[in-house]
């Protein structure tokens, strides 16, 4: 199993970082904490993956964005949200769309279709990819460390929540029947 993780873990990180891959990054951070993967390699792989994906989607949006958005009307609400955020907070939106759930994959297409300059996007994309890969991978690693170092406390807290929640549910259910 360890050999499999070491051989394919970075491939999974790369593929996960191409899309909204925080769950893959979280798992990779945990595996790095356990010694199966290297945290610096995870960060570099995630950086390359997210940079490549968002730059590719930007170019697709730059050349075919309006056609794509017209062809898929279900994307319109999310695209409108992304266009609104882009108009209000141009640079800030480009730097932060990776952290906005639900519009991350569509945002570079919208940015490309909106006429943002190629050089401007490349520059901001590099900065944003670096911030995302560092923050996501480090957060995953240290959250996994916190969880593993204090697991005995978390398991007791979770058990307590289940017991109290179950008791409350049972009591409310009985009370409503009367």
Nearest C-alpha neighbor of 99 from the set 87, 111, 91, 107: 107
Using DSSP, how many helices (H) and how many strands (E) does the chain show? 8, 0
Helix, strand, coil share of the chain (percent; to 5): 85, 0, 15
What is the distance between the alpha carbons of residues 109 and 27, in angstroms, rounded to a whole number? 28
User: Residue 135: exposed, middle, or buried by beta-carbon count in 10 A (0-12, 13-18, 19+)?
Assistant: middle
Predicted confidence band at 23 (pLDDT cuts at 50, 70, 90)?
confident
| Domain boundaries of the chain, sorted by first residue | 2-150
pLDDT of residue 75: 87
- 123: number of CA atoms within 13 Å, CB side? 6
Q: What is the phi/psi pair of residue 150, to 5°?
A: -120, 30
CA–CA–CA angle 11, 17, 23 (5° rounding): 95
Least confident residue range of 34-38, 39-43, 153-157: 153-157
113-127 pLDDT, tens digit each: 998 999 999 999 999
Q: What is the pLDDT of residues 82-140, one digit of tens each?
A: 888 888 888 999 999 888 877 888 899 999 999 899 999 999 999 999 999 999 999 98
Q: Which of 150, 144, 30 is nearest to 158 (CA)?
A: 150
Instruction: Identify the pLDDT of residue 109.
Output: 92
Q: Give the C-alpha distances (Å, rounded to integers) separating 71 from 65, 66, 67, 173.
A: 10, 8, 6, 50
Question: Shortest CA distance to 97 belongs to which of 140, 49, 60, 132?
Answer: 132
- Whole-model pTM over 0.75: yes
d(CA 127, CA 61) in angstroms, rounded, equals 20
Q: Would you say residue 19 has pLDDT above 90?
A: no
| pLDDT above 70: residue 157 | no
């Amino acid at each position: 199993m360890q050999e499999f993780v070491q051989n394919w873990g970075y491939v999974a990180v790369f593929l996960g970082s191409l899309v909204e891959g925080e769950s893959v990054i979280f798992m990779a951070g945990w595996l790095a904490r356990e010694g199966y993967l290297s945290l610096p390699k995870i960060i570099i792989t995630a950086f390359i993956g997210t940079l490549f994906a968002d730059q590719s989607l930007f170019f697709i949006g730059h050349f075919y964005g309006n056609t794509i958005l017209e062809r898929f009307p279900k994307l319109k609400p999310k695209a409108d949200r992304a266009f609104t955020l882009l108009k209000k907070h141009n640079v800030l939106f480009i730097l932060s769309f990776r952290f906005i759930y639900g519009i991350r994959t569509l945002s570079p297409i919208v940015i490309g279709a909106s006429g943002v300059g190629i050089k401007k996007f490349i520059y901001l994309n590099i900065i944003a990819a670096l911030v995302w890969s560092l923050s996501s991978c480090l957060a995953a690693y240290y959250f996994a460390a916190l969880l593993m170092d204090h697991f005995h406390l978390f398991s007791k807290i979770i058990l307590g929540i289940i017991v109290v929640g179950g008791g409350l549910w049972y009591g409310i259910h009985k009370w409503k029947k009367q």
